[in-house]
Structure formats: structure tokens, C-alpha cells
Structure 1
Amino acid sequence: MTTTPAPTPDSTVAEWDHVVVGGGSAGALVAARLAARDSGTVLLLEAGPDQPVPRDRAHPLADAGRLVLAGFNWDYRANLRSSGRLEDLLKGGDGTGNPARALWERFPYQLGKVVGGGSAVNGAIALRGLPRDFAAWAEQGNPDWSWDKVLPFYKAIENDVDHPDHPRHGDGGPLPIRRTPRDRVHALDAAFWGECTRQGVTDLPDLNSGEEAGVGPIPGNTVEGERIDAATAFLSDARDLPHLHVRPGVRVTRVLFDPKDRSRAVGVETERDGRLDTVRARHVILAAGAVGTPVVLQRSGVGDAALLGALGIDPVVDLPGVGRDLVDHPSVVIWSRPADGVCTPGLPWRQVAARMSSGFDDDVDVQMGLLNNVESHTIPGFVDRLGWPLVVGMSVMLLRPRSRGRVFLDSADPLASPVIELGLGTDPEDVERLCHGVRRAWGFLRSPGLSARLTRTQFWSDRMVANDGVLRSGVRHIMNPGWHAAGSCRMGPDSDPYAVADQEGRVHGTENLRIADASLFPVIPSAPTNLTTLMLAEKLARSMKE
């Protein structure tokens, strides 16, 4: 294959072989893999800044002990439930929708906007999805994504020092996986672990084994407290490759199609400092995430033709599934004040997790664990009226929510923010499962090993937890997302009217246009999404090369 000569930072290329839109977890990996396999010239475009190379340990993105929610994020505001804005647009209105629900649009939904994306700002938790998650992917028309077919790609990206030479784990990948040894687990986490065991939850030393129920140490992509994000793990060694160029601070507004063959992608339109420009490419790979990717598609004329027409965008491909099935993990966190001396700022904040039944039925449907050593000022939306400098949270996360949201444009302006409706709790069963989970979590908090180390609890009380109506109301109003956006351009066969791409990420009805990010997930995995996003990117990068 003849390729364009390798670019230098100040040169221009008439046509790139691959342009990757979004330098987050998936985009960083895909760009690095394509460049390393000599697949032609690769341009990685990221709207946010680059990370310093090398990165000092004092840099905020290096600290795995805290979430980064300022300076390296999209300043989105999400509607936690839903509204009538889309329906209003389709009826010819101005998109104001149902004003009675406007109060739910205040939630700050700060997704990563930096080279490394979500992996650079998240909690560095490296949990895999479960085998039944991928059974559901296969059942929805994606047979190449069953557990036995994704496991090799989980293994390929990881260097799991706790399970070397194990058939279920890899020890040669770029991403380090570490767990806290049990004898070094914080006293509060040890008490939670012990209470789980007392209540019959099985000890599970490897939460990435594929087994569902159990309590054990959380695997994380950290080394001595440093967050090893996708840019550090995958891009660092690829930056000097002659065919790769990383261009930060460039926002992609839309995909460009050939005027003579409107299904064939030929590049992207970009914006930087108010200036629009064009990048020509033989292949366009969207890795802008479950919010960014559907928005780019809609601006490009790929999406629900009725919405595009209402916005004055000329439809290229009518794909009503674009932006349709947005999903996130709903969770409830019960915040308590630790006794003096129990917690220390800067110590690890997540060490132990348990997957168990909430008690709604026998299904393993929730993940519980402590958020430990947390400085209260770092908690999004936390109103600290009690003067607690340090807090401990008991988190209850629903593993497989039924509720779905959506993301869509209400303006053709290339710089307009999207409408994000997460739809949390819109399926009553999700609320009931979380109610049962909160009740069970309350039992853990009231156990001697934990209650002796906690002095007060915010909001909740024994009477509230015991009252079904009050508990349900509390859960509805307090549940938050996990910043695990997924599913808004789900993969599936073209016989599925709401599938956006096939199981290799190729956008239906187009040529030379692929998706490679969490928007493709047909079902959200029963875990934080970052490790599964990296696995998906690894698998798709290999298929692109082949």
C-alpha cells in the first residue's frame, strides 16, 4: 500500500490514511495501534489539551487518588431524567420541551476533554465486564463479541502483576493492573470486607475472573498511586512513530462526505480558535465517546432524518438509533463522617468492592464499596453544611440498568452543546433494585466494624430506610450517574432498525466511516466502562488493520 509521507508537526498532509476523532481511551489506543502496525498515516484529533510528556507526578492527571472534574473536562450539563425537548423539536417547536422537568438539567456531567479522555480523569478502576454482558451483546446480533472472543483482547492490553501466567490474564500488555494486598487494606475497607463475608458474600480475590458474586480487592490501572491512563499506557511509546501525529485543541464538528457518492466519508471539518478547516482522509474513525460521537454524526447528516430535517441539516443516512439508547450506571452514595484519625487525605479511595444481590430477587445486580479518605470539597454537588473535612461514602451501583436516555442536537450550530438526557430511574425496576441495595448497604453501615468508625451519616436514618415510600423518594432524588456513558450508537445487524454500526464498528449505510468507542456497546457492562472501552478499541484496531 502506498502511503503519504510521514508528517512533521508544522507540515500539512493532502490526505491522511486514517483520522481518529477523539483522543480519549479508545482513540488513543486505536491511533497508537494503527501507527505501530504501519497502517499508513494516522492523525489523532482531540478537542482538549495534550498531556505533558513526560508527565510530572505532581500533575493533577497523575493523581489516582482523586477524580479530576475541572480544567480537563467538557462542561456539559445533563438532565438526569428526561424531557419533552426532542418531541417538541419534531413537532416544529423551539426545543424548550417540558419546562416542568427543567430542574433536572443542572447536573454537571463532566466527561474527559484531554488526550487520554475519561481514563485521564477517572478513578482508575480496571474492572472487566461479566460473561453474561457479552452473551447479551452476541444475542443482539454481534456473535464476534461473546465472552470467549473478547477475553483475548482484555488479556492483550493488560499487565496483571497479581496473576502472572494465568490463562485468564495477560502480563505483557501496556496497561498495569494492581490490587491492594489484603494485609494493606484500610481498616474501614477491611471491616466492610469482613462484614460481607459474615453475610455470606463469597471471597473473590480476582474480580476480573468472570465470576459474578463475590467481594475482593479492586483492580486498578495505577502504579504507586499514579494513574496510568490510555495516553500514558498506549500513546507514550507511539508518539515518535513516523506515521502518527497528535493534534490537540482541535474540535471536529462533522464528517465530510463525497458530493458524488454521499455515503463515502472523505474527511472531517474541524474548528480551532473560531476557525473552520478541512482534513481529508481515506478512513474516518469516530472515538469521541457516547456523547461526542452521536453529536458529530448528527451534524454530519447521519441520524434520525426527522430530527435532522427539523434542524435544517441535510440527511445523508437515516439512522434513527443515533443518540437513542444512552445509558449510564445509576448509583446512590450514603455519606458519613469518619471518627477522628480513621481517614487520611491522599490515601487510596477505592480498595474493595462486592458484587451481590440487592435482595430485590436472587440476581447479582449491585456493586457495593466504600469511597474512603475523601475530602468533602472534591465531591461533585456535595453541600457540606456540617463542616466535615473528610467523608466516607457507601456506594450502591446498579450493574445492569433497564432505563435509557438519549443525546441529541437542538441546534445546527457547530459549537452548540448537545442535549443530554440520562433517563435515570425512568424504569421503575431500576428504582426498586436500588432501594433494596440501599437497604442492604445500610445494614453494612450499621454493623459494629463500620459503625464504630463512623460518627454521623448525612440525610439517611433508620426510620427513612425502613419506610418504603420515603426510601423510594430518597433514591429517586439522590441517584447519580457514574460518568459511564455508553450505548448511544449501538452495534448490531442492519436488520435492527436502531443499530448504528455493524460489529466491526462500520456505520450502516456509509463507507470508510467507523465508530470505536463506548457508544457501540449494545448493553452496558456490569462494571465501570473504561477497561471494556479499551478492550473494544484493541479488538477493532486489529480488525481495521486486517
Structure 2
Amino acid sequence: MTAGRDPAAPAREWEYVIVGAGSAGALTAARLAARGSGDVLLIEAGEDQPRPRDRTHPLADAGRLVLTGHNWDYRANLRTGSRLEELVQGRSRAAGSEEAAGRAAARALRERFPYQLGKVVGGGSAVNGAIALRGLPRDFAAWEAAGNPDWSWERVLPYYKDIENDADHPGRLHGDSGPLPIRRTPRDQVHPLDTAFWEECNRQGVTDLPDLNDGSEAGVGPIPGNTVDGERVDAATAFLSGARGLPNLRLRTGLRVTRVLFEKNRAVGVEAETDGTFTTIRARHVVLSAGAVGTPVILQRSGVGDAGLLGALGVTPVVDLPGVGRDLVDHPSVVIWSRPADGVCTPGLPWRQVAARTTSGFDDDVDIQMGLLNNVESHTIPGFVDRLGWPLVVGISVMLMRPRSRGRVFLDSADPFAEPVIELGIGTDPEDVERLCHGVRRAWSILRSRGLSSRLDRTQFWSDRMVANEGVVRSGVRHIMNPGWHAAGSCRMGPGSDPWAVADQEGRVHGTENLRIADASLFPVIPSAPTNLTTLMLAEKLARSTKE
């Protein structure tokens, strides 16, 4: 199999074209090709990874997030704006009174958040923190309740097991022969700071949970990761590498799909672009795995989406699906950063070893995930303004597991080079803010414990006095909360009777033929954990059900 820009012959028709070689796309392509499902073309807008990949390459280092060089350099609005309504109602962005100008100025302060998503073979799994946490049974009960009976915990568990090789917890809940290695740091090898965090969680009533992937709600324990000896094992390495030699699989990189091509409502291929040159690629089946930002905007550009938006864009409608791009969701989090005492932290050591799922104290619900970001070089933190000259920092992170706030993603121009408008909407539901406020107080009590405070010199921004003031905490949370780069839910699956569902529970786009989605945009509810492992599970399950 060759990668690059060698164009397919114009007359050729592929059995499957898969758009996006990220976590879901890489797995889907490998599975379909291995099954012998005709000729499979996998298209990726980014570059391939080097093969062989040196251990010093950024994509190999599980101890860092990769936020430059292998990413879509999107800018997101952390809240929401009025651009969509202005567009659909025929108003220009600049129209209106001084009040409108004021709203635009306020938007500008929030629209510049760097939202880098993976643009490389392996996608998000190649640039993320290599955390391999499953969703919880209650998440899938919500999927089931949304009209997707095949997605209960009992029905998804076999697919979690099939993709993994969990050497730490053999038995009925885990797989031992899948392509993805799952490893945890033994307790006697946990960093002293993480040990102090763990022990303080115990003192505050959070019990030990050796396996955070066993379906239990609350507990503190070692974080499972898809790493081996500090090397990130992404989806391309785990799933695609073994299929690259198959004669019926082709990978083309540096090629950006702009839209799906239709004959009436039947998908017949895609239009793709490289260096300003557009190519038509014919296929009997199209699978969109471009992620929760990429997939909905490809659909909108193709004529699949809200009829009002399509009309405003001048795009010929194929199917009126108002749920396309709606209900975008990400995990909001707040990180409290501190300077470690000299000699406590070391660059290059693991940065995430222990996590706790517990109640924030807002009510009795297990609603937050806490953990340390350890041994962190400050220049690697996205958006971190290091005015204090701290080369190494430690953060305690509070992530809201099941946010209520929703955003959206859409196009404001049919131009094939137009960037998507991303409105994350984090913190737009007041309950999310209140839960995070309670979580910050809980995290502060842990941070101020003797085992941690004795190893930290100073803390940025926060103080005892600030944390004791409800108004100050609320203001701080609203201004500091960030997303987790866990975009999901923008093309949710559900029955045709659901007016906001975009695809059925097998990923087939409503109102179309031969068009499927296989990525995190399908999630009806975001999992109570980072999304990568659930995205792989979803792709594995859908690949099994995909029939020619």
C-alpha cells in the first residue's frame, strides 16, 4: 500500500471510501480491508506518520500533548454566538445597533481559543494524552434511552474487550489479545506527588479502585493508558499498521475531502482537494470518520443538514437534517497550577498516573474526575501565560464528567476553503458552572493537604481567601474553564422519529443511501471519560455491522 498524492484513475470506483484516518477511520479501514470487503480507500488530510517512528518523535512520546505540526489549527468560541441566527435570518454580521457591536466585541474575547484537533494518520489518538478510560454503564444507559438499544453497557463491553490487550486485569471484563495495549503504573512506582494525591483522596473517603475500567462509578486508582514503556500506541500503530500490506487497502494523505457526492439521495463518492486542485473519487459506500467537527461540516457542504442553513449558504439540499452540527459537546475542566519545590518534578517523567472519580459536593452524584498533571514543562501548556518564570508546573485538574451545556459547529460560507464556526458552549448551563465550583473547592482541599502542599512552593491565581468566596470562585471558574479536546455529539445517532438524530444506531445517515458515520460525532451522550477509547469501541462495533 502506498501513501501520498498518487491520484486514482478517474474511472475507478472504490467499494468503500473512508474520510479521515483518525482513531475511528484507521480502525474501520483496517477491519473492512481485512474482511475482504472490496477495495478500500482511506483518505487523510494530514500527513502519514514516519515509518519506522523514532522513539524521540513527538508522536511517540506519551508524556506530552502534541499541539503543533500535526493538528487542525481551529479557533473555537468557548461559549456561543449569534452568527448562525444572523446567517439563517439573512442579517450580516455587522448589521444592527451598538448593542450588536457590543456583542461582537464580547464574542471576540472568546472566539480565539486554540482548538487543535489531530490532523495526521492516527488523528486524535496520535496527539492526545494516551488515556484509555472507558465510558461508564450509566453513559450507555443514556445511549439506550435515546433510542439506541444496541448500545447498552452489556452490548458494548464485548467490543471494548476485543480492541484491548489489558495485561493488568485479566478476566471476564477485559480482553487480552486485542491490538491496543492497556497499561497502568504499579502503585509502588507512582510518583510521590501522585501518591500524596491518592492518599489524600483516601483520607477524604474516596476508596481505592484498582481498575477504573471495571464499570464502577467512584474510586481512585491508576490511570489506564495505551502506552508501552512511555511510547504512545495510537490507532494507526495498533490497528492500521498490520493492514497496510493488504492489496485491497489504499491510504492517500494530504487530501482533504470537501463534500460527499450524491445522485439523488445516494452517496456515490466524494470531492477532495489538494493544493487547490479538486478530484472526484467514486465509491459505492462512503464512511465519514472526520470527527465531531469535520463530519458535520462535510455533510453541510454536501447538502445534508438544516434546510434553513443550507438555503442561506446557497447549497442545494439533499436531506433536511437539522441535527447536523447541533449538540456539540466537550468536557469542561479547570486546572489549578502550582510551582513544585526544587527537585520534586522531572521533565520527561509520566504526567498522568492517578485519577479519582468522586462527587464534587454539589449533590451526591459522582460528577467529577480529578487528577494531577505532573512533571509538566510550562511551555507545553496550551494558552498558559507564564509570567512567573516557572519552568516546571504541577496542575490539579477538575473535569466535569457529564456536562449539560451544548454547543454547535457549522459553516458560514459554502466556500470549500471556509473554516468551520465552532461554538463549544461550555459553561452555558449554570449547573455545569456550579458543579465545577464545588469541584474546585474539593480539589483545593486536596491541594492544601500536607502531603501535597509541602511539595509545592506557590499556586497561581487561587488562594484560600478566594476559594472561600463563592462569587470569586464562580467568576474564576467561568473565566478559566477550558475544553478537553473531547469533541463529540454533533451528529448524534437515534431513531428516525427523533427530529435531531442524524444517523441510526448503525451509523447510517437518515434519508440517504450508502452513507455512514463512524466517529465521536455519533455519541448521543458524551462518555464520563476522555473519548478516545469509546471512539475506538464504536468504530469496532460499527465495522462488524457494516455490510456491503
TM-score range, shorter chain: over 0.9
Is the 1:302–1:319 contact (alpha carbons within 8 Å) kept by the matching residues of 2? Answer: yes
- What is the CA–CA distance in structure 1 between the aligned matches of 2:327 and 2:509, rounded to whole Å? 16
Q: CA deviation at 1:90?
A: 1.0
Give matches, 1:1-16, under 5 Å: 12=9, 14-16=12-14
The CA deviation at 1:91 is 1.2
Deviations 1:177-196 (A, max 9, x none): 00000000000000000000
Q: d(CA) in 2 for partners of 1:8 and 1:44?
A: 12
- The residue type equivalent to 1:186 in the other structure is H
Distance 1:85 1:10, change over 3 A: closer
2:211 maps to 206
Paired residue secondary structure (2:330): coil
- Measure how far apart 1:123 and its partner are: 0.1
Post-superposition Cα deviations, 1:8-65, rounded to whole Å, max 9, x if no partner, equal 9675361000000000000000000000110110000000000112211111100000
Q: CA deviation at 1:203?
A: 0.2
2:211·2:222 contact (CA, 8 Å) conserved in 1? yes
Matches within 5 A, 1:312-323: 312-323=314-325
Match of residue 106 from structure 1 = 112
**2-side partners of 1:272 and 1:102: how far apart?**
31
CA distance in structure 1 between the aligned counterparts of 2:45 and 2:6, rounded to whole angstroms: 17
2:181 match: secondary structure? strand
Matches within 5 A, 1:415-434: 415-434=417-436
Which of 139, 143, 149 pairs up with 2:149?
143
Q: C-alpha separation between the residues in 1 aligned to 2:300 and 2:409?
A: 10
Question: Are positions 1:310 and 2:312 aligned together?
Answer: yes
Supply the distance in 1 between the matched residues of 2:6 and 2:262 (Cα, whole angstroms): 26
Give the structure 1 partner of residue 97 of structure 2: none
Deviation at 1:94? 2.9
Separation in structure 2 between the aligned mates of residue 163 and residue 391 of structure 1, nearest angstrom? 32
Residue 402 of structure 1 corresponds to which residue in structure 2? Answer: 404
**One of 222, 225, 244 as aligned partner of 1:220:** 225
1:4 alignment partner in structure 2: none
Candidates 287, 290, 295, aligned match of 1:288: 290
- Identify the residue that residue 92 of structure 1 maps to in structure 2: 90
Q: 2:168 aligns with which of 162, 171, 177?
A: 162
Q: How does 1:263-274 map to 2 (within 5 A)?
A: 263-274=265-276
* Aligned position for 1:45: 43
Q: State the alpha-carbon separation in 1 of the partners of residues 53 and 347 from structure 2.
A: 23
Q: Does 1:508 align with 2:493?
A: no
Moved more, 148-157 or 13-22: 13-22
Task: Supply the distance in 2 between the matched residues of 1:229 and 1:274 (Cα, whole angstroms).
Answer: 30
Pair 1:8–1:457, CA change in 2 (3 A):
closer
Q: What is the Cα deviation at residue 412 of structure 1?
A: 0.5
Answer whether contact 1:505 1:515 (CA < 8 A) is retained: yes
Q: Report how far residue 176 of structure 1 moved.
A: 0.3
Runs (5+) with no aligned partner, structure 2: 95-99
Q: Which consecutive residues of structure 1, in runs of 5 or more, have no partner in the other structure?
A: 1-6
Q: Is the 8 A contact 1:9 1:245 kept in 2?
A: no
Alpha-carbon distance between aligned partners in 2 of 1:8 and 1:354, rounded to the nearest angstrom:
46
Q: Partners of 1:171 and 1:121 in 2: how far apart?
A: 25
**Are residues 1:197 and 2:202 paired?**
yes
Question: RMSD of the TM alignment (CA)?
Answer: 1.2
Report the identity percentage. 82
Identify which of 29, 32, 40 aligns with 2:30: 32
* 1:72 alignment counterpart: 70
Partner of residue 132 from structure 2, selected from 126, 136, 142? 126
For the 8 Å contact 1:83–1:102, the answer to whether it is kept is no
- Once the two structures are superposed, residues 342-396 of structure 1 have per-residue CA deviations (whole angstroms, 9 ceiling, x without a partner) of 0000000000000000000000000000000000000001000101000000000
Task: Give the residue type in structure 1 aligned to 2:470.
Answer: D
Whole-Å separation in 1 of the counterparts to 2:145 and 2:369 = 24
Which residue identity lines up with residue 166 of structure 2 in the other structure? D
Amino acid in structure 2 at the alignment position of 1:179:
R
TM-score under structure 2 length normalisation: 0.97
- Name which of 534, 537, 540 aligns with 1:538: 540
Q: Distance in 2 between matches of 1:231 and 1:284?
A: 20
Provide the rounded CA distance (Å) in 1 between the counterparts of 2:93 and 2:454.
52
Q: Structure 1's 402 and 10: CA in aligned 2 closer, same or farther, altered over 3 A?
A: closer
Trace 1:131-530 onto structure 2 (pairs within 5 A): 131-164=137-170, 166-258=171-263, 262-530=264-532
Query: What is the Cα deviation at residue 247 of structure 1?
Result: 0.4
Q: How far apart, in 1, do the equivalents of 2:21 and 2:547 lie? A: 19
Once residues 7 and 470 of structure 2 are traced to their aligned partners in structure 1, the CA distance between those partners, rounded to angstroms, is: 64
Tell me whether 105-114 or 49-58 shows the greater mean CA deviation: 49-58
The letter for the 2-side match of 1:381 is G
Query: Match of 1:333, SS?
Result: strand
CA distance in structure 2 between the partners assigned to 1:233 and 1:217 by the alignment:
22
**Aligned residue identity for 1:156:** D
CA distance in 1 between partners of 2:177 and 2:7 (Å): 35
Superposition TM-score, scaled by structure 1 size: 0.97
Offset at residue 102 of structure 1 (A): 2.1
Q: Distance in 2 between matches of 1:104 and 1:393?
A: 23
The answer to whether the Cα contact below 8 Å between 1:86 and 1:95 also exists between their aligned partners in 2 is no
Q: Is the 8 A contact 2:5 2:255 kept in 1?
A: no
Secondary structure (helix, strand or coil) at the match of 1:353 reads strand
Measured against aligned partners, the alpha-carbon deviations of 1:289-328 in whole angstroms (never above 9, x if no partner) come to: 0000000000000000000100111111000000000000
